[in-house]
Structure 1
């Protein structure tokens, strides 16, 4: 049975230089424990938050872009097993911080795993790569979008840049998604705002909820995640019982913390049926006109 109402926690997660694997597990466990203590049932961590694991390796790995990618990817089995155990232990859903994973010889994907309280898990790979990922890091885009059917509703995951492209989230929504999770890692305020505007636009046009989780803070030892800006938030459509600006919850910029929101999926269903506007229902109307071509005129 689906829980239509629950509490969600989305992280403003700091990148730390860690002394060892136990320091990492203690840090993440502490974050999960804190959210669970507040009653959160779904916990969302950001894109590339797992890159702090590069600090566990000896020099020059942490300061080498390619070396840190390879090192963190090698830890995927341990990271997955650890988070799977956390989700079971606390009886919650966890979208773990994304990490690079091997996708063939000298190929990597940017992967976010979703862990369920019963030991279930699956992942969403990032679809569209940023210039940094393409040109400097050699991370490639995947080609499969997924819908996660959970006891907390139907979720889609659009990793960072992906949430800036409307057709990706739309495909997930047409498959049934009511929430879009948008983990991010942005080094500038411009980058943060691009992801934020994208998340808010997806919530507006699909009349759904969009959950943003960024990395925060400086990690000068890492060429991959050296600077991190952002504020976690939960956005909805500005209509009916939702806030006038669509912002259900918003954190303090760049401050490590959880941001909490009470989720009511019945409000999503209601706004799609009875809203002052019906963006979700009217989406196909634009497609017919756009497909018919453009009439060029001179004035």
Structure 2
């Protein structure tokens, strides 16, 4: 039987000059250990948080070489996430990591580590124009809800959250919590993600957890600064947070936020809420199909 109350943690991580892989992994381990200690079943990290691994190299790594340099750390990253998830009995949405696949394609990938040792993946479907032109990142081919021991979840990486059909696809597959790791360099970019994620909660009567990078990072090419105010967002109806915000970080400060999500409240809203977006769709007129 699915849990009726779930606790989620969102890491708003500050960019820091990082001289070793172990230094970054120790920071990740700290947040995972802390979230588990607070009883969280899920923890989410930001998009592109591993870019910090390039900041300690001299001379500065040219942007065109970034993906290949990061690929050297992909195996270790996956192993660390799985080990931490098993050790602390928590599902880790590992932000995202730019890496090159065996077929040569560059992708922006979120690795989701489960407490039972499984590792799932979600590739970013919509790379930004900058990701395409500077890093050569291509979009993934599928988006599917991910089975966890607490029910299905979805992952939309940053720009993906700005496409409503993707959130609907995940909701139709019974994802009731959608995690959005993001990285935006300006306040404008942050609010594009925030407003779209809030819309996704209304359209799909689900929860959305956002996790962003903040601060400045010297000695990196094409990711020098980031702006975020991470949040746990809810539908806008009776039984939920007044402003549709269950928890919210302070802008531009490293911290972890935690929120309790009432899954029964989603069921009630879908069945008898003030509005019933999922039930009231005009499927006789439109639908979301997937190849």
Aligned to 1:294: none
Aligned to 1:102: 100
Aligned to 2:45: 45
Structure 1 counterpart of 2:227, from 223, 229, 233: 229
Aligned pairs for 1:1-299 (under 5 A) are 1-61=1-61, 64-103=62-101, 106-285=104-283, 288=285
Secondary structure of 1:9 counterpart: strand
Higher CA-based Rg: 1
Residues paired across the two proteins, number: 288
Aligned-partner Cα distance in 2 for 1:5–1:243: 15
Aligned-partner Cα distance in 2 for 1:117–1:289: 39
Which portions of structure 1, spanning 4 or more consecutive aligned residues, are displaced by more than 4 angstroms? none
Structure number with higher helix proportion: 1
| Matched-pair contact (CA < 8 Å) for 1:184–1:215 | yes
| Matched-pair contact (CA < 8 Å) for 1:57–1:71 | no
Aligned to 1:295: none
Aligned-partner Cα distance in 1 for 2:286–2:82: 46
Computed over aligned residues only, the root mean square deviation of the Cα atoms, in angstroms, reads: 1.7
| Matched-pair contact (CA < 8 Å) for 2:60–2:219 | no
Distance 1:252 1:137, change over 3 A: same
Aligned-partner Cα distance in 2 for 1:283–1:224: 42
Q: Tell me the TM-score normalised to structure 1 length.
A: 0.92
Q: Tell me the TM-score normalised to structure 2 length.
A: 0.94
Distance 1:106 1:116, change over 3 A: closer
| Matched-pair contact (CA < 8 Å) for 1:4–1:153 | no
| Matched-pair contact (CA < 8 Å) for 1:4–1:152 | no
Distance 1:251 1:147, change over 3 A: same
**Could you tell me how far 1:106 is from its partner in structure 2?**
5.0
Structure 2: 5+ residue stretches without partners: none
Structure 1: 5+ residue stretches without partners: 292-299
Aligned-partner Cα distance in 2 for 1:146–1:58: 40
**Range moving further from structure 2, 220-229 or 190-199:** 220-229
| Matched-pair contact (CA < 8 Å) for 2:19–2:57 | no
